[in-house]
Chains A and B, each alone.
Chain A
Amino acid sequence: MAIPKEIYKVFESIVGPKYVSDDPVICEAYRSGPGGYEDGLGYERVMTTIPGAVIMPKTTQEVQRIVKVCYRKDIPYVPYSTGFYGPRSHPHVEDALLIDLKRMNDFILDEKHFYVEVGPGMVYSPIQEECMKHGAYVVIGGGGAQASAIANLIGDGWSPLSHRIGLPHRRILGTEVVMPDGELLKTGSLATGEDPFWGEGPGPDLRGLLRGYTGLRGCLGIVTRMAIKTLPFQPERLEPTGISPNTALALPENRIKWINFTVPSKEAQVQAMKEIGHAEIGGAVTKVPLFWRAIAKAECKEEFWDIWGKETPESIANFFIVRVLLIGFTSEEQMAYDEKVLMDIMEPLGGVARRTKPSDESWIKNADSAGMWLMCGGYVSVDYVIETLSQSTEHGSSYAELKKKYTPPLMPDYGDPGWFQSFELGHQGYSEFLIYWDPDDDTHPVDQFYVDTSKMNIKNRYYTSLLGPHQPLYLTGPKYGPNYHEFLLKVKDEFDPKWMSHPPVPLAHDVFVERSPWMHPMKDWESPGDLPK
């Protein structure tokens, strides 16, 4: 049943006829697939559909009115900021209302109190540019410079710059949330006034419910406004150079530079990260997947495969790199001092500084996530964990081992253990594992690998993000708490008793497994018989 006409007219009266449409062509454009994050995989094919209508509010009040109508009239809805996050941010049920938030792109910079205030339609790169103009900076999350800052911060929100800036839930300040019944929730100092400078409280800090570890994709409400903490940056301009596709920020090396070191072993890699964090130097310390170097060198996907195809398990196993970003936050002298400290750390570890371009192609202003699809066409960061530095490196290796079983269709990567780095000056280690495949191959093994990683994480006791609603909740929840699933479902029932906000999240992956015959052999956990069909 399509959205009834009388309700459609109510939507028109809220936003104006121009900003709501149930035209099938307009709705088709909001299809999740066939390309993109997880697109082409079973989850996208089985779980997503086009919306019954699309609406584009401009204000929080309009969002409230829309949601209240949906709640009253049993219209399922899905909040949507940029649509980049693939199937999980698209409708999962027929005739849902997609609430496209791109018009809510307000931006305020409070220079005095070091924060910016944004709407869900505002993406990262303009925020970073405005911040840098005023001596500040933020993390552009690994999701990319094109990601909605709000969506990214309530989902993931980290990058190599998190070595110094830290984790996203500490950067979310005053926030405004339209709850599933349309009521407005204000957190932090917004709860008592109009100044969003403070993030916690009142009472229990609701940011934990809002984002958990990696977010709930709008199933507990819609964030319509958020203040984001910024931090002081160095003052010199980073000048954009080059012409597309080869553009970069030229770095004034007296204040900011990347240095790539090769080191003799994985142990030296980890030790270097620990000591750099201990010395409290650097803006980023990271080891990226080795095929990223091939991406950077290649002029096209065919050349990537020429370059990458020359690698072997031995060449990958014996190549260790540590990439360090030095920033002279306070002065050139501080920069020079930090560089000396860095060299003092690296030399005894056998670190050799390689020639490194005085430019930044990715991370400071342009987390280049979109380029990840270039080589294969199919890509997912299947897991990311925040552990200790030593534990996080083991995480990548265990993934590389499991991946062998699913290669092909996964891309040959010769055992590369993925991406790991320091967070919060070495207090935490971060590990992210990325997988790639040709979407024209049989992708069922990719779906299976995804769930198999959860089982591996449970077995290895990784405190991992994706042991949550991004996996079957009844597989991961009992191991993650042990009543994480019950707690989350009670919160969902309390906030959204009619399950109108992005159903059937957070049970979507459970439903996917039930609906997909090729997943049934993997199901060795208990789940209730009354899952949403």
Chain B
Amino acid sequence: MAQQPNIRYYKPKEEFSLDIRDIESFVYDMSRCIKCKGCTWVDHTYMPGAKFMTRCPSATLYEYDAYGAYGKLRIAHGMVEGKVDWNETALEIVYACTLCGACDVGCKRNLDLEIELTLEALRVKAVRDGVGPMPAHKKIAENIQKQHNMYGSPHDKRSAWVPQDAPPADKADLLYFAGCAASYVNQEIAQSTARIFKAAGTPYMLMPDEWCCGNTVFSVGMFDEAKAMAERNIEEVRKTGAKTLVTSCAEGYRMWKVDYPKLLNMATEDLGFEVLHLVEFVDEKVKNGALTLTKPLDTRLTYHDACSLSRLSEPWTPYTGKRGWMGCVEPRLKRRRGANGVYAQPREILQEIPGVDLIEMPRTRENAYCCGAGRGTKEAFPELAQFSANHRLEEVKEIGAETLVSACPFCKNNFNQAVRDNGDPVQVMDISEVICASIEA
């Protein structure tokens, strides 16, 4: 029979922190997963029906439980307890994942577990155990080391995108961080962004020597390398005296706003400058009248929430505390649940444009289905990236949209490739291009 202890509910408090360098920081989270699969299903309140039921690309494609967060957490827990070890399958399971955060917001609705951080920690462990990252990721890291960009393109061509009609200033309060994609592959995005700054009457400057933000390096678990890049880039921006850093890339935005502070164990607000995505900048300028979107764009258009701009974009605050009885923590932890992501601004901008018929896909905002390109996925698992883009395009076709708009070059490129491969009658645009088209004479 049960015994009445002298001290009711006594449990020693254990120190812990949200430190992705140590997988054991997240044993609590791994051990509390209940297989509700809220990480995989669309929020049931928003469940659109028997089509488009899931929000996890990896679990949708590979289907075994191992590929959902509930499986990954059990595998990680098994590794911590010494029940399983790395093998080829484990490596694939850990890296064939877009780290899109859908699982994290799903779990935060039910159990408040730190799923995204656990998956990041698992990749750091893979690297530190000498098994990760994947060969394609190592190639990117090598490219960055040699040319400071993920493609291995000549570093001296990084600013070749700069348009003559909207050149940067030598000195300005606003610094535009173009990133690798917009500098080399999607120059139309960087050029549109520069023209938007000009139209808004806001001078911009560039970093004197812009390097890769390190998104892929961080995302695949190369913590030390990513940290060195964070230190270098933050220092370079601080030297410029910029008050605001603007990106047009969702992945870059997340790096600057969330992951640099995470890597350096500091709060986002202590960076010394504000980090904005272009849509936040434009939204404010439209609202205060500095920018008007007048040129019509007659199209039935839908907006795809880039994961790193939406559910993954809440600011970072370091946390160290104690966990005690019933898993309660002190001091109180303000959990990042994706509720304050950048969801409204791009939609409000698009609705300002004459002629635009903005319609939503069945899965939107925190329930959006990742395009499949980001965080090292497309390079190492192109079949997952292709599957995800095609799966998302099914939604675009379902609602009869003519134009698909996102706010990240990785989304645009992945969707564009799928549209080309399939011959789909869908126009894929970055939101910077759409905005630019509506302000240009």
* Residues of chain A whose beta carbon lies under 8 Å from any beta carbon of chain B: 19, 21, 23-26, 28-31, 34-37, 39-40, 54, 56, 82-84, 100, 102-103, 107, 122-130, 133, 144-146, 240, 242-249, 300-302, 305, 361, 365-366, 368-371, 373-377, 405-406, 408-409, 411-412, 438-441, 445, 448-449, 521-522
Contacts and interface: CB of A to CB of B under 8 A. Distances in A.
Contacts of A24: 84, 87
B338 A29 contact: no
A146 B84 contact: no
Interface in B64-102: 64-66, 70-72, 74-75, 77-78, 83-84, 87, 89-90, 93
Contact of B89 (A23, A129, A406): A23
Contacts of B90: 25
B33 to A, nearest CB: 5
Contacts of A374: 110-112
A25 B84 contact: yes
Contacts, number: 203
A439 B45 CA distance: 29
B429 to A, nearest CB: 26
Contacts of B109: 244-245, 247, 371
B128 to A, nearest CB: 18
Given A100-B64, A240-B45, 10 more contacts: A24-B87, A26-B64, A35-B35, A130-B49, A145-B47, A244-B338, A245-B105, A370-B34, A371-B110, A445-B3
Contact of A300 (B70, B78, B332): B332
A365 B47 contact: yes
Interface residues of B, number: 66
Contacts of A439: 31-32
A129 B48 contact: yes
B366 interface: yes
A23 B41 contact: no
B391 interface: no
Nearest to A109: B50
A35 B2 contact: no
Contact of B45 (A133, A365, A369): A365
B338 to A, nearest CB: 7
Contacts of B47: 125-126, 128-129, 145, 365
Contacts of A366: 43-45
A25 B66 contact: yes
A409 B330 CA distance: 21
A45 to B, nearest CB: 13
Contacts of A371: 109-111
**Which has the most chain B C-beta neighbours within 10 Å: A83, A242, A249?**
A83
B130 interface: no
B206 to A, nearest CB: 35
A30 B93 CA distance: 14
29 contacts: A23-B89, A25-B75, A25-B90, A29-B74, A34-B77, A36-B33, A37-B34, A39-B34, A54-B64, A54-B65, A82-B35, A83-B70, A125-B44, A129-B47, A129-B48, A145-B41, A146-B37, A245-B339, A246-B339, A247-B109, A301-B326, A301-B328, A302-B333, A365-B44, A365-B47, A377-B32, A377-B326, A438-B9, A445-B3
B272 interface: no
A64 B365 CA distance: 42
B53 interface: yes
Contact of B50 (A82, A107, A146, A448): A107
A103 B63 contact: yes
Given A129-B49, A244-B106, A441-B11, A305 B326 contact: yes
A144 to B, nearest CB: 7
Most buried by A among B34, B48, B83, B89: B34
A100 B67 CA distance: 14
Nearest to A128: B47
B91 to A, nearest CB: 9
A103 B59 CA distance: 12
Contact of A405 (B1, B75, B332): B1
Nearest 6 Cβ contacts at the A-B interface: A29-B71, A29-B66, A370-B36, A445-B2, A145-B44, A36-B34
A127 B50 contact: yes
B343 A249 contact: no
A29 B8 contact: no
Nearest to A30: B65
B92 to A, nearest CB: 9
Contacts of A411: 326
A479 to B, nearest CB: 21
A196 to B, nearest CB: 17
Nearest to B46: A240
Contacts of B45: 240, 242, 247-249, 361, 365-366
Contacts of B110: 245, 368, 370-371, 373-374
B5 interface: yes
Contacts of A30: 65-66, 71, 74
Contacts of B89: 21, 23, 25-26
A376 B326 contact: yes
B123 interface: no
A371 B333 CA distance: 18
A439 to B, nearest CB: 7
Given A145-B47, A365-B44, A405-B1, A370 B111 contact: yes
Given A29-B72, A36-B35, A84-B37, A247 B43 contact: yes
B6 to A, nearest CB: 11
Nearest to A405: B2
Nearest to B40: A146
A244 B337 contact: yes
| Chain B CB within 10 Å, residue with most, of A29, A54, A84, A126 | A29
B389 to A, nearest CB: 21
Nearest to A82: B37
B329 interface: yes
A243 B339 contact: yes
A61 B50 CA distance: 23
A377 B43 CA distance: 21
Interface in B339-394: 339, 343, 365-367
